[in-house]
């Protein structure tokens, strides 16, 4: 094999063999390297001037960064890059040097030739919007084409979301949508989604539903996430009736919306809160028809709605359904059902349910106790009520203020003043106070029975705890004491002085 001479096969682009040397500043590699060096110089200069990338850290007067930007790239005979402008804009926003941004934008618009990336302008639009400079954000959005940048739906969606954050800016939305057409921005499904979610966030559900209808008319598919947002916002409305909510619910189902578990939960909770237990039951039945098995939370909410409406037949049927379907009731479910039984004056059945709870290792709580106490005191069965209080104490159920108030009212209602006073002193030891009306009844009945000294002593104790008796207490004490010198003026008015 004959080897060719080295001179014939040598690479002519190697320095040893090429005829003319390359200029060091004409190759892309050198150009990119110069831009990198200029960028490093710009960053170093900002640090030396006291600028920082951390927000709100500028504490000294700084020269305008635009000149620093130009000088840094001029030193390496190259033009500033979009990345450099983004760095300067971000530095100015982080250090609150907003007065320098307009001049920087003017220079970028009139003197630079590159196509400005939309992301740079989107960053500044977002900053203006979150800084409550919405008009500046809108003006910059309309100005995007002048930066040799083609606006897209991304910047449009951002401006719309900023405007929809507050009600006072909503009137600007139609103008933005109209002018965006002249900017050749095509409204997409994401735009509808932004508008609907923003309207739901500020509780303008009516507008959100109209926007959803426009979206469907334009041929876009039904978005389950958007529908869920509408339902969630719908159920948080204070000025919406349950009838209006049901109409919207049915209309959305007609256009193809298939609610999920969260949607059913929100709707049932809203209807129960509005006192529409039967409507909540209808929604629960729809949930079962859609193949979504209700859980114990759904059943509990509907049970409470039925109790509130007094639909006790439906209440019993639904509770039986829970057991048949294998849903395990929790203590909240049992408490709702026990409350329904007590409202029907079916106290014996309520105690049977409590026994069943304990067999299934579902421990009754203080709500269970209070429900039973209230029913027994209302029925006048104080003996059984005392047993319940003792039994709950043995089982480790801590009685609360409501428990004592129920029992105290029951004793006062039956005229058991002696036991009521004993229970009241026990409450005061635990820093628990009765209702003002209950205390007034105790003092009134004590005065009626001639226990004036005891009534005044009890009043002293409760006033010492910073409790303010009602007018009926003072009236009873003054009338029964008869304003006797040395008694009414020194004792009763002394109490007033303490109070």
Q: Where are the domains of the chain?
A: 189-258, 259-313
> Are 53 and 90 within 8 A, CB to CB?
yes
Of 164-168, 260-264, 297-301, 452-456, the poorest mean pLDDT is in 164-168
Exposed/middle/buried for residue 450 (C-beta within 10 Å: 0-12, 13-18, 19+)? exposed
Q: What Å distances lie between residue 67 and 43, 54, 100, 259, CA to CA?
A: 13, 22, 11, 58
Largest CA distance in the chain: 144
Distance between CA atoms of 210 and 196, rounded to whole angstroms? Answer: 9
Rounded to whole angstroms, how far apart are CA atoms 101 and 302? 58
Report how far residue 405's alpha carbon sits from residue 422's, in angstroms, rounded to the nearest whole number. 13
Measured in whole angstroms, how far is the alpha carbon of residue 83 from the centre of its chain?
A: 38
Highest-pLDDT range among 48-52, 219-223, 347-351: 347-351
Q: Quick check: 491 pLDDT over 60?
A: no
Q: Specify the pLDDT at position 488.
A: 44
Distance separating alpha carbons of residues 340 and 309, to the nearest angstrom? 10
CA distance 126 to 446: 71
CA distance 203 to 225: 17
Phi, psi angle pair for 393, to nearest 5°: -65, -40
376 and 385 Cβ atoms separated by less than 8 Å: yes
The set of residues, in sequence order, having a beta carbon less than 8 Å from that of 359 and lying 6+ positions away, is none
| pLDDT value at residue 313 | 94
Measured CA to CA, the distance from residue 430 to residue 423 in angstroms comes to 11
Per-residue pLDDT averaged across 453-472, rounded? 85
The secondary element (H helix, E strand) that includes residue 189 is: helix 189-201
Mean pLDDT of the region 96-116:
90
Please check the confidence at residue 5 and state whether its pLDDT lies above 80: no
Poorest-pLDDT segment among 172-186, 206-220, 387-401: 206-220
Question: How far is the C-alpha of 394 from the C-alpha of 189, rounded, in Å?
Answer: 63
Confidence bin at 373 (pLDDT 50/70/90): very high
Please report which confidence band the pLDDT of residue 308 belongs to, taking 50, 70 and 90 as the band edges. very high
pLDDT at residue 52 greater than cutoff 80: no
Q: How much of the chain exceeds pLDDT 90, in percent? A: 37
Q: Is the pLDDT of residue 492 over 50?
A: no
* Confidence check: pLDDT of 221 > 80: no
| Residue 197 pLDDT greater than 90, yes or no | no
Phi then psi dihedrals of residue 401, to 5 deg: -60, -40
SS3 343: helix
Q: What is the DSSP letter of 491?
A: I
Nearest to 368 by CA among 407, 336, 329, 411: 336
Is the pLDDT reported for residue 455 higher than 50?
Answer: yes
Q: Per mean pLDDT, which of 61-65, 175-179, 217-221, 477-481 is the most reliable? A: 175-179
DSSP at 461:
H
CA–CA separation, 205 and 268 (whole Å) = 18
pLDDT averaged over every residue in the chain: 83
Question: Any idea what the Cα angle at residue 423 is, between residues 418 and 426, rounded to 5°?
Answer: 130
Q: What is the mean pLDDT of residues 233-261?
A: 82
| pLDDT of the residue at 15 | 54
In this prediction, residue 481 has a pLDDT band, given cuts at 50, 70 and 90, of: low
**CB-based contacts of 3, cutoff 8 Å, min separation 6:** none
Which of the residue ranges 170-179, 191-200, 266-275, 323-332 would you say has the lowest mean pLDDT? 191-200
pLDDT at 464: 85
pLDDT given for residue 39 in this prediction: 87
pLDDT of residue 482: 57
Per-residue pLDDT band at 494 (split at 50, 70, 90)? low
Q: Provide, rounded to the nearest whole percent, the portion of the chain with pLDDT above 70.
A: 87
pTM reported for the whole predicted model: 0.68
Q: Give residue 7's pLDDT.
A: 52
In whole angstroms, what is the distance from residue 179 CA to residue 321 CA? Answer: 58
Give pLDDT, residue 57: 43
Q: List the single range of 85-89, 274-278, 357-361, 468-472 with lowest mean pLDDT.
A: 468-472
| Region at 259 (left for phi over 0; alpha for psi -120 to 50; beta for the rest) | beta
pLDDT range class, residue 276, cuts 50, 70, 90:
very high
The C-alpha atoms of residue 174 and residue 195 are separated, in whole angstroms, by 11
Residues whose CB is less than 8 angstroms from the CB of residue 153 and which lie 6 or more positions away in sequence, other chains included: 185, 186, 187, 188, 190, 191
Going by C-beta distance under 8 Å and a sequence separation of 6 or more, which residues neighbour residue 312?
A: 306, 340, 343, 344
d(CA 150, CA 154): 11
């Amino acid at each position: 094999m004959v080897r060719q001479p080295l001179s014939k096969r040598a690479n002519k682009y190697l320095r040893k063999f090429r005829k003319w040397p390359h200029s060091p500043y004409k190759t892309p590699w050198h150009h990119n390297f110069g831009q990198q060096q200029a960028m490093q110089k710009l960053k170093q200069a900002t640090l030396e001037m006291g600028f920082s990338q951390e927000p709100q850290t500028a504490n000294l007067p700084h020269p305008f960064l635009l000149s620093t930007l130009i000088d840094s790239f001029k030193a390496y005979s190259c033009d500033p890059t979009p990345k450099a402008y983004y760095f300067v804009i971000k530095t100015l926003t982080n250090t609150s040097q907003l007065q320098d941004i307009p001049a920087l934008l003017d220079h970028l618009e009139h003197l630079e030739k590159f196509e400005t990336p939309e992301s740079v302008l989107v960053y500044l639009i977002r900053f203006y919007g979150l800084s409550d400079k919405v008009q500046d954000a809108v003006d910059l959005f309309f100005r995007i084409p002048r930066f040799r940048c083609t606006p897209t739906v991304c910047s449009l969606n951002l401006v719309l979301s900023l405007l929809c954050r507050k009600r006072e800016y909503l009137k600007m939305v139609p103008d933005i949508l109209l002018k965006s057409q002249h900017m050749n921005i095509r409204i997409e499904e994401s735009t509808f989604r932004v508008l609907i979610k923003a309207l739901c966030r500020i509780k303008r559900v009516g507008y959100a539903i109209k926007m959803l209808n426009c979206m469907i008319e334009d041929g876009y598919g039904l978005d389950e996430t958007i529908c869920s947002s509408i339902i969630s916002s719908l159920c948080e409305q204070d000025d919406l009736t349950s009838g209006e909510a049901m109409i919207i619910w049915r209309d959305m189902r007609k256009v193809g919306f298939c609610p999920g578990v969260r949607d059913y939960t929100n709707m049932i909770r809203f209807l129960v809160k509005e006192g529409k237990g039967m409507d909540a039951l209808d929604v629960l039945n729809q949930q079962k028809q859609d193949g979504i098995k209700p859980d114990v939370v759904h059943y509990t909410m509907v049970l409470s709605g039925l109790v509130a409406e007094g639909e006790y037949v439906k209440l019993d049927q639904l509770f039986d359904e829970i057991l048949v379907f294998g849903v395990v009731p929790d203590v909240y479910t049992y408490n709702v059902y026990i409350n329904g039984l007590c409202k029907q004056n079916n106290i014996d059945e309520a105690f049977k349910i409590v026994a069943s709870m304990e067999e299934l290792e579902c421990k009754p709580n203080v709500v269970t106790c209070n429900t039973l106490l209230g029913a027994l005191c209302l029925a006048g069965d104080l003996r059984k009520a005392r047993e319940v209080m003792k039994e709950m104490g043995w089982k480790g159920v801590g009685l609360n203020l409501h428990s004592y108030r129920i029992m105290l009212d029951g004793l006062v209602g039956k005229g058991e003043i002696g036991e009521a006073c004993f229970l009241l002193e026990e409450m005061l030891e635990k820093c628990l106070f009765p209702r003002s009306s209950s205390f007034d009844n105790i003092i009134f009945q004590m005065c009626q029975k001639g226990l004036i000294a005891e009534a005044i002593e009890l009043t002293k104790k409760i006033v010492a705890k910073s409790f303010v008796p009602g007018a009926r207490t003072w009236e009873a004490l003054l009338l029964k004491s008869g304003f006797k010198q040395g008694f009414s003026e020194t004792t009763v008015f002394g109490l007033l002085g303490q109070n």
